[in-house]
Amino acid sequence: MDAAAKERFDLINDNLAEFLNPELIESILAEGRNPRVYWGTATTGRPHTGYYVSALKIAQLLAAGCEIVVLLADVHAFLDNLKAPLELVENRAKYYSKIITAILESVGVPTEKLEFVLGSSYQKSPDYVMDVYRLASLTSEHDARKSGAEIVKQSTNAPLSGLLYPILQVLDEEHLKVDAQLGGLDQRKLFVAATEWLPKIGYRKRAHLVTPMVAGLSGGKMSSSDQDSKIDLLDPPESVAKKIRKAESAPRVIQDNGIIGMVEFILLPAAALKGNKEFRVERRDGEPLIYTDIQQLKDDYVNDVLTPQLLKPAVAAALNSLMAPIQAAYQASPEWQEITLKAYPPPVVEKKQKKVKDKGSRYPGAAKAQDLPERPKA
């Protein structure tokens, strides 16, 4: 690779947890071609702040001259244990398109080069369906279950659709004609499966760009379906502050600390993209703490220089500032608001019917004496 290609490769490789088959991208760059990369998201629960990790990586890929395809995986949403009923997936796909565009624009990324593709637009074609049959005939139940273990909801006596989910995601790489797939660390098993499965039916293997995962507010994985683990991108500032205050963040502990994870994987990279890579922590007594490097922040946290009481308000303020353009775009768009109501309708609360109790006739005021029937005379 020449110097220009090397610079592009370094940008593609930056901030990744892992890069599988990087030599495939190196050869494409050496040819002078732009790598075509896809990132897919199942249109289920409402996107949360964890989506910034992928969005910020997409921003870097666009800067490196990559062609980016965003797959709105409506069929996957249905297959994953019926997380999204068919009558909702169309509007949820529209919602995802709006919010993903807004995320990128909130950090100053031009979105005109993004290509949005709806999964159902090609996943019902004869060629695709035949490939599903072909790959299914060569894939064991064990391998299908293992590859989707961290992305498909697991349950006893699970529906067969969950086993089809990873087969579809692998085939998307071929049918979207991409060179690489971008996804979180929770999809690593599926990425490894893709490199093994595609050649079985005559297709080439792809590279995989693996992004780190941000821990949830209550520990573990941040999830769209777990309200306590996430901050919704349209949460009002007071709700964000409240969720951050309640989040688990033990003093001196940086392992699986979702608050520190937000600084490392969202706030600092977003600030860098805007041209001023720093994270500021205000203090009542003394000068503010200013961090340009996450290791410096982690060292201060371990040494109790930076406490949860100082860190949490700073994270809440920075997140609210980052999400402000998204919320302004939402408020300015009646169309988006209408789509939201259709995609995530408020739960219908059935009113309890008041049961009329039969008190009988022997209670005060039941009936006036003159209203009572005359008793027969003896």
pTM of the predicted model over 0.85: yes
What is the distance between the alpha carbons of residues 117 and 79, in angstroms, rounded to a whole number? 18
Residues 221-240: tens digit of each pLDDT: 666 656 667 899 999 999 99
What is the distance between the alpha carbons of residues 313 and 307, in angstroms, rounded to a whole number? 11
Band the pLDDT of 81: cuts 50, 70, 90: low
What is the homologous superfamily of the domain 217-343 according to CATH? Tyrosyl-Transfer RNA Synthetase (1.10.240.10)
Q: Which two tokens stand for residue 375?
A: 């008793």
Residues 178-221: tens digit of each pLDDT: 999 999 999 999 999 999 999 999 999 999 999 999 988 876 66
- Name the H helices within the chain: 3-13, 22-30, 51-63, 74-79, 86-106, 126-138, 141-147, 161-175, 188-197, 237-246, 258-262, 268-273, 294-302, 308-331, 334-343
- The reported pLDDT for the residue numbered 178 is 98
Residue ranges of domains in the chain: 3-213, 217-343
- The reported pLDDT for the residue numbered 207 is 98
Query: Is the pLDDT score of 107 beyond 90?
Result: no
Using N-to-C axis directions, what is the helix angle for 161-175 and 188-197, rounded to 10°? Answer: 60
- The reported pLDDT for the residue numbered 220 is 64
Residues 319-335: tens digit of each pLDDT: 999 999 999 999 999 99
The DSSP line for 320-365 is: HHHHHHHHHHHHT-HHHHHHHHHHSPPPP-PPPPPPPP---S-STT
Q: Which of 34-48, 72-86, 226-240, 345-359 has the lowest mean pLDDT?
A: 345-359
Compute the average pLDDT of residues 140-157.
Answer: 85
Q: Greater confidence, 373 or 123?
A: 123
Q: Greater confidence, 6 or 368?
A: 6
Query: Is the pLDDT score of 350 beyond 60?
Result: yes
Which architecture characterizes domain 3-213 according to CATH?
A: 3-Layer(aba) Sandwich (3.40)
Query: Is the pLDDT score of 113 beyond 90?
Result: no
- The reported pLDDT for the residue numbered 79 is 84
- The reported pLDDT for the residue numbered 365 is 58
- The reported pLDDT for the residue numbered 92 is 93
Strand 18-20 versus strand 207-211 pairing type: antiparallel
